[in-house]
Structure 1
């Protein structure tokens, strides 16, 4: 089973949704047979690549709210995220572009597979939300990527150019084709789509349903009747 997750590394609900999916996988008996691949989605492609403004004010202006109102909303999210074991520093995060982070996630997938990509995804989310680091800064990205297991020379090479930019654009186009207007957006085996940071119970139901469809159980018809066994026939 493959789960593709469209998300952004500066999306708080993406981090919450990730934790809730992981909780569901923790109780799923076939979890070892589930491959998770992250797809790119930019919440704000126009954000500066070297942002310096706190995200609270930017989001407040975007949605026509005061900064005090936005802080109240962020506090509610901080408390909710804590229920899923996450320590958000939302009042300290910077508004920044994430295309370079997404390009590194594609590098991780290509060079180390889904496992390495998952390591980098978690590291980037933690860097932004729990450590309030600037994930648009190349030095920060390099440090986080290398710590996650990527080759430093390749990381710097990718960041110095535009490699994997087309892959990021392709992911965004596919999300639109699916009808996804926000993230997180989860797609299981290209058959089932789930939008938003759903409760773990919803993810559990989704996993069971998708697994049952892709691994149908043989339905037997009729009762016991005479048959030869593994040792042959008695007559």
Structure 2
């Protein structure tokens, strides 16, 4: 069963959402039957490749969020990340455009799903925990090689236009699904789940989608016991063009 995860490596909730999703996978008995694919998404395509501002300054100046609210938001996200075993360091975070990083992810997808997952995880770690630039060629080369790509494949990712075309194809697919914020999970090309949901919600969604995998019922939102309105898709914590929850 196909699982698409639309994500931006500059999105703090995407890393948390991925960690919660993997927790659910550990309890899902059919995890070996899943074809997990990361889809590229950009929250802010206008960012320069390298930005001199801190994350707090960027959110205040570009997104128009008051400084006090930014501090509260980052503290909240950091606490949520800590609960998932992640050590976010926004003071050291390097604000950078994620386009080049997405090129590497797309090249890794052509190697294997596992390679793409490893690249994605290492990019998240570099950006949010290690204070490294996800637009730096040396950083991307190291991450690519550590994830099983050859140096030649990494150079191809950085220089061949076909990987930009692959990014644009993902962005078009996201628009077709109506994705406006990430992370966004699409199960079996029929079920949409928005945000960094709790592991139990991911597990219930996976179970429901897998059980109906061969039935091909019409597209509908995942509904779980946590939903107040059975006709509304669950909205978890996510990042959009105007900031993060």
| TM-score, normalised with respect to structure 1 | 0.87
CA–CA distance in 1 between the matches of 2:163 and 2:64? Answer: 35
Q: Which has the larger radius of gyration?
A: 1
- 1:175-208, Cα deviation, whole Å (9 max, x unpaired): 1111110100100110101111111111111111
Q: Runs of 4 or more off by more than 4 Å in structure 1?
A: none
CA–CA distance in 2 between the matches of 1:188 and 1:11? Answer: 21
Q: Which residue of 2 aligns with 1:229?
A: none
CA–CA distance in 1 between the matches of 2:73 and 2:193? Answer: 24
1:101 is paired with a residue whose SS is helix
Q: Which residue of 2 aligns with 1:75?
A: 75
Q: Are 2:38 and 1:38 equivalent residues in the alignment?
A: yes
1:37 is paired with a residue whose SS is strand
- 1:18-62, Cα deviation, whole Å (9 max, x unpaired): 011111111111111112100100111111112332222111223
Q: Which residue of 2 aligns with 1:92?
A: 92
With 49-58 and 13-22 compared, the bigger mean Cα shift is at: 49-58
Q: Which residue of 1 aligns with 2:168?
A: 169
Q: Which structure 2 residues correspond to residues 196-215 of structure 1 after superposition, within 5 A?
A: 196-214=195-213
Q: Which residue of 2 aligns with 1:134?
A: 133
- The alignment of Structure 1 onto Structure 2 pairs a total of residues equal to 215
User: Gaps (5+ residues) in structure 1?
Assistant: 217-235
Q: Are 2:12 and 1:12 equivalent residues in the alignment?
A: yes
| TM-score, normalised with respect to structure 2 | 0.84
**Hey, which of these two has a bigger chunk of helix by percent?**
1
CA–CA distance in 2 between the matches of 1:34 and 1:157? Answer: 28
What displacement does 1:94 show? 1.9
1:6 is paired with a residue whose SS is strand
CA–CA distance in 2 between the matches of 1:131 and 1:120? Answer: 15
